[in-house]
Amino acid sequence: MAAAIETKQLTKSYRSRHAGIINVVDHLDLHVEEGEIFGFLGPNGAGKTTTIKMLLGIIYPDAGEGYVLGKEIGDMDVHRLISYLPERPYYYEHMTGPEILKFYGSLFGINDTAKFQALLEKVNLHRDVTKTIAQYSKGMQQRIGLAQSLINDPKLLFLDEPTGGLDPIAHREIRDLILSFRDEGRTVFISSHELSEVELICDRVAIINKGIIERQGTLVELLKGGRIEITVDGVSEQFLRDLKQTDANVRTLPIGLLFDVTEEADANAIIDAVRNAKGTIKSVVPRRKRLEDLFVETVTSKPKQPATSGAV
């Protein structure tokens, strides 16, 4: 499949009065395929927005290469095929929804009232056409933002924290809209902190920390593994001593002992041993690895050194 976004050693640095030159984005190798929803994750200040701005040609990289839809970043032709929804966007408050669409449409030379109406219907704002942006709720502002980002029928959308600060209903509406973009064949690049949201909708993710890509891959690959929790009762001290041979973590609970293992073979061994010791198995709960676990594990571990060549 063709790459919608490809960066090679993309680097952006700033000069800080106290710390000298800081690489905000450090030798970034990113690969986003066409037609996928790609999650770009990282803590505050990790370099997410800087990366998006470089990909959009709003700021300029200091080193490395970047390609969006096969063309070098900053190429104005690409701007006809992409779209961007910034974090907490502001739109001219005196305008109504249709006026906003008309304004952004005019930047592409589009003046199609039927299209504007269809977009307002798509984001469920067609009943609020007389309201000005100042009268919009946060969720409505985010939806008009998505509508303006669809005006040029983009192949690739950059969404920066699209659900930030929204209530659960608005969350779901925005999530459904993003999923519909994939169904329409668009590529979506989402920068977000909402990990549960990302886990629900993204095909692949990258985790960036201090400007360096720490992980990149499909959710299936990255969340491989997980844990199994086994709660047992009625086993002896000797049993516990024997069990030291396995890698299980053991905690004492009011209802018995909780064994926490990562390997299926260890879980089977514990279950067999408990049965042999005439103990009771109260529960066996497989705990799937969550994106949040991976994220915390990644950003709290020692940062990687920047890759100097090849994929991460």
Partner 1 sequence: MFRPIFSIAGTTIGEAIRRKVLLVILLIGAFLLILAPSLGILSARSETTVLKGMMLGVIQLTSAVIAIVLTVYMIPNEIERRTIYTILSKPVQRWQFLVGKYLGAVGALGLMMALMGLLMVLMFRFEMGMTSVSDLSDLLKAPLMYFVQMSILASVAVAFSTFVTPLVNFFLSGSIYLIGSLFNPFFETIQSSPNTPAVAKGFATLVNAILPNFANYNVQNPIINPGQEIHNEGSYYMMATVYGVFYILIALIVGILVFDRREV
For partner 1, the closer CB: 87 or 199: 87
Asked if 12 contacts 64 with a C-beta cutoff of 8 angstroms, the reply is no
For partner 1, the closer CB: 30 or 261: 30
Give yes or no for residue 88 binding partner 1 (CB under 8 A): yes
Task: Say what angle helices 97-106 and 113-122 make with each other, to 10 degrees.
Answer: 120
For partner 1, the closer CB: 163 or 216: 163
| Dist. CA 45–CA 303, nearest whole Å | 14
For partner 1, the closer CB: 134 or 255: 134
For partner 1, the closer CB: 62 or 260: 62
For partner 1, the closer CB: 106 or 268: 106
Q: Nearest approach, Cβ of 3 to partner 1 (angstroms)?
A: 19
For partner 1, the closer CB: 135 or 280: 135
Provide the mask over 138-177, with x wherever binding to partner 1 is found by CB under 8 A and - wherever it is not: -------x--xx--x-----x-------------------
Please give the full DSSP string across the chain, using - where no structure is assigned: --EEEEEEEEEEEEEETTTEEEEEEEEEEEEEETT-EEEEE--TTSSHHHHHHHHHTSS--SEEEEEETTEETT-TTGGGTEEEE-SS----TT-BHHHHHHHHHHTTT---HHHHHHHHHHTT-TT-TT-BGGG--HHHHHHHHHHHHTTT--SEEEEESTTTT--HHHHHHHHHHHHHHHHTT-EEEEEES-HHHHHHH-SEEEEEETTEEEEEEEHHHHT---EEEEEEES--HHHHHHHTTS--EEEEETTEEEEEES-HHHHHHHHHHHHHTT-EEEEEEEEPPPHHHHHHHHHHSPPPPPP-SS--
* Binder of partner 1 out of 1, 15, 109, 254 (CB under 8 A): 109
Q: How many residues bind partner 1 (CB under 8 A)?
A: 34
Q: Nearest approach, Cβ of 302 to partner 1 (angstroms)?
A: 30
* Binder of partner 1 out of 13, 22, 33, 103 (CB under 8 A): 103
* Binder of partner 1 out of 25, 32, 64, 91 (CB under 8 A): 91
Q: Nearest approach, Cβ of 132 to partner 1 (angstroms)?
A: 10
Provide the mask over 46-85, with x wherever binding to partner 1 is found by CB under 8 A and - wherever it is not: -------x--xxxxx---------------xx-xx-xxxx
* Binder of partner 1 out of 34, 35, 43, 89 (CB under 8 A): 89
- Give residues in contact with partner 1 (CB under 8 A): 53, 56-60, 76-77, 79-80, 82-92, 94-95, 103-104, 106-109, 145, 148-149, 152, 158
